[in-house]
Amino acid sequence: MYIVVKCSFCDKPAIYYNKISGLAYCKVHFIEYFERKVRKTIRKYRMLNPGDHVVVGVSGGKDSMALLHFLLKMKRKILGLEVTAVLVDEGIKGYREKTIPNLTRYAEARGVKYIIAPFKDYIGATLDEIVETSFTRKLPYMPCSYCGVFRRNVLNIVAREVNATVIATAHNLDDVIQTYLMNLINNSWDRILSLAPVREAKGEGIVKRIKPFYEMPEKETALYALINRLVEPEFHQCPYVKYNVRFTIRKVLNELEDRYPGSKHGLLRSLLDIISLHEKAGLLKKEYTKCKICGSPASHSICRSCIFRAELGLLKRDEKSKLEEIINLEPEIKHLLKHYHNLS
């Protein structure tokens, strides 16, 4: 016998039940609930302003397609809002080419501006080539570390190229608290404190970054993408997933939430409190500097992406000369380049 749960707002059958609030939603009321909640997050953290040009980081997966779809709808509500989708193609054979068509199909059918930015063009090699070089050179980094750093870097460069005022990424509540726990385990407080929903454009050449899905659980962003038919229902998995501790943490957090509903929101609240306490105590990093090689946001004279590129032998000749100059002027940065074998 099947029990059909009815929507809490009409007579239609429910497609989603929220364990925390005890409310059930049909398709129409779920979309209404989801969009209202994201709009509230955008207002609460002052993410968008009239006339903003938003670059949306899109992978072609469910979260980023959901964000693109939602932000395009926001054009009706925010005067002069411009949206450009940017897909950073890492070059992961057998994986990324399966998700790219989700974006191209969607964008072409609706006349949405999109840009595909390959690692090969911006970084100098595909992620597959990078991983191979890294293993050969015995560098101590996992594929996802390169992927995350380079993806952020390419998105920044493209945002500056198209004069965007905001970069929006589809990190949802689950992503944020997974990163929070991973960094707690590594005692990386700088990274924890950078997990705020908004990073303002403090510093020259720095584009404001926002996470509109900050308070949305992954199952809600996924459902929003599926009911709006934004992605193909089949699931594709990156071959490098096995190297990432995130997926174990994700499993543990899902089990915790299953047994103790509300745990994920509790963790997010504790993260926000920690960030706010540091902010009030004046302990948050106020400004990023500009990388002296590529112009991207950096905590030192050189950004993480350029350090990786140096270690992988991917700097162009003029960039390499710049690096040597920087090392001569600031020998103390050598400690960041421990694995850079071509130091003169």
Work out how close the CB of 242 gets to ligand SF4 at its nearest, in angstroms, rounded to a whole number.
9
Single out the residue of 193, 167, 198 nearest to residue 180, CA to CA: 193
Q: Give the whole-angstrom CA distance, residue 38 versus residue 7.
A: 21
Task: Check residue 212 for interaction with ligand SF4 (CB under 6 A).
Answer: no
Name which of 84 and 178 has its Cβ closer to ligand SF4: 178
Cα–Cα distance, 141 to 50 (Å, whole number): 41
CB of 211 to ligand SF4, least distance (A): 16
**The two three-digit tokens of residue 257, written as one number:** 């939430």
Encoding tokens for residue 93? 């054979």
Is 57 a binder of ligand SF4 (CB under 6 A)?
no
- What number of residues does the chain have? 344
Rounded Cα distance between 277 and 234, Å, is 43
The least CB distance from residue 238 to ligand SF4, in Å, is 3
Q: How many CA atoms lie within 13 A of 126 on its CB side?
A: 10
106, interface contact from Zn ion, ligand SF4, none, CB < 5-8 Å by kind: none
| 147 is an interface residue for ligand SF4 by CB under 6 A | yes
> Of 83 and 147, which CB lies nearer to ligand SF4 in the complex structure?
147
Alpha-carbon radius of gyration of the chain: 21
205 binds, among ligand SF4, Zn ion, none (CB under 5 to 8 A by kind): none
CA distance readout (Å), 128 to 95, 133, 207, 210, 247: 11, 9, 29, 29, 20
Least distance between Zn ion and beta carbon 311 (Å): 13
Q: Which does 301 bind (CB under 5 to 8 A by kind): ligand SF4, Zn ion, none?
A: none
Which of ligand SF4, Zn ion, none is residue 148 near (CB under 5 to 8 Å by kind)?
ligand SF4
* Least distance CB 59 / ligand SF4 (angstroms): 7
**29 Ramachandran zone, left/alpha/beta (phi>0; psi -120 to 50):** alpha
Q: Name the binder of 303 from Zn ion, ligand SF4, none, CB < 5-8 A by kind.
A: Zn ion
* Sequence-ordered list of residues with C-beta below 8 angstroms from that of 81, at least 6 positions apart, any chain: 48, 50, 51, 52, 54, 71, 74, 75
Smallest distance from ligand SF4 to CB 244, Å: 5
Question: What is the CB-side half-sphere exposure of residue 255 using CA atoms within 13 A?
Answer: 6
State the binding string over 228-247 for ligand SF4 (x if CB under 6 A, else -).
----------x-xx--x---
What is the closest distance, in whole angstroms, from the C-beta atom of residue 61 to ligand SF4 in the complex?
A: 9
Sites for ligand SF4 among residues 124-143 (CB under 6 A)? 143
For binding to ligand SF4 (CB under 6 A), which residues are involved? 143-144, 147-148, 238, 240-241, 244
